[in-house]
Amino acid sequence: MSVSLCRTRARRSAWLALATAIVSFTSLHVCAATSVMIWPIDPVIESDQRAAALWLENRDNKPVTLQVRVLGWREADGKEIYDEDQDRVAGSPPMATVPPGKRQLIRLTRLADVAPGTEEAYRVLIDEIPQPDEDAATPSTVASLGVKFQMHYSIPLFVYGDGLWLKEDSRKRRDAATAGRPLLHWHVVSEGSKRWLVLSNHGPVHARITQVAFDTNGSRVEFANGLLGYVLAGAQMRWPLPDTVRLETKPKLILTVNGKADVEIEPAPVNTNQ
């Protein structure tokens, strides 16, 4: 199934755009109001590969200039952290002008080896650079606010060391039982007047979390109908629980994890040393 997903972002600064536009896509292609199509939207660099291909296609009737950056991605203290200065993966070319109806190949190249059995996470940021004529046409009142409307995309990139893989590849014969799997646990914490769903991942690969619900004796309370977020390998993330989500005694947490539906997550072990 191929679904086109269009997102528009207004940017006041690079970091505001990054905070508001980190999106994960479930379609095979991604398009925008500028008719830029990006595929694949889930690139990986496996242990026997030095690079992965990312294609940008301009379906508009005028050229589009795009900037490509690869940021390191990690999670700490329940927050997403991005490293602009990472030097382990590079995108080439870092900037390209794509004519109408044409495609541009972006090569995502691994510059350093990854430790065996390890998954490294990155974010590939693709920003549309306004054309000079567009800047000239911008009213001074708008320009003075520092607001420019342009496309901003962020797609995940995972790089693997020897002995670890996650994404199926029809060109390779391998036993699905050897694929890396996240190992998730959950608990709820209260801070002040807020409750938080906390997910920890002790597995070697990331978990992409969608379709979240609490189940009590067959009665489900939906928490997230679409994407909740990612929990990277060895990381812990949390999300606020709205007051409308009422948890009964000993509820079960049911998720879709990396596309696998109705996965029941075990509660976090109780610390008996406290």
Which spans in the chain are helix H?
Answer: 14-21, 132-136, 140-143
Q: Which amino acid is at 130?
A: P
Coil, strand or helix: which one is 79?
strand
The pLDDT profile of the chain, 274 residues, written as one tens digit per residue, is 333 333 433 333 334 334 334 444 433 445 545 578 999 999 999 999 999 999 999 999 999 999 999 999 999 999 999 999 999 999 999 999 999 999 999 999 999 999 999 999 999 999 999 877 655 555 554 444 444 557 889 999 999 999 999 998 888 889 999 999 999 999 999 998 899 999 999 999 999 999 999 998 889 999 999 999 999 999 999 999 998 898 888 899 999 999 999 999 999 987 644 4
* First CA to last CA distance, the chain: 50
Provide the pLDDT for residue 121: 98
Q: Where are the domains of the chain?
A: 9-160, 184-267
Neighbours of 268 (CB within 10 A): 15
Q: What tokens does 163 get?
A: 């002995």
Domain 9-160 and domain 184-267 have a common topology: yes
Q: In angstroms, rounded to a whole number, what is the distance separating the alpha carbons of residues 43 and 153?
A: 14
| β-sheet bridge partners, residue 216 | 219
The CATH class for the domain spanning 9-160 reads mainly beta
Closest CA to 61 of 102, 31, 32: 102
Q: Classify domain 184-267 at the CATH topology level.
A: Immunoglobulin-like (2.60.40)
CA dihedral for 83, 85, 86, 91, sign (positive or negative): positive
Q: In angstroms, rounded to a whole number, what is the distance separating the alpha carbons of residues 191 and 62?
A: 51
Q: Which amino acid is at 270?
A: V
Q: What tokens does 205 get?
A: 């690969």
Q: In angstroms, rounded to a whole number, what is the distance separating the alpha carbons of residues 165 and 202?
A: 16
- What Cα–Cα distance (Å) separates residue 228 from each residue in 63, 162, 168, 200? 35, 30, 23, 14
pTM score, whole prediction: 0.83
Structural contact between residues 138 and 184, judged by C-beta atoms closer than 8 angstroms: no
Beta strands in the chain (DSSP E): 9-11, 36-39, 44-45, 51-58, 64-76, 79-83, 89-92, 95-98, 103-110, 119-129, 148-150, 152-160, 184-191, 194-201, 207-216, 219-231, 236-241, 252-257, 260-267
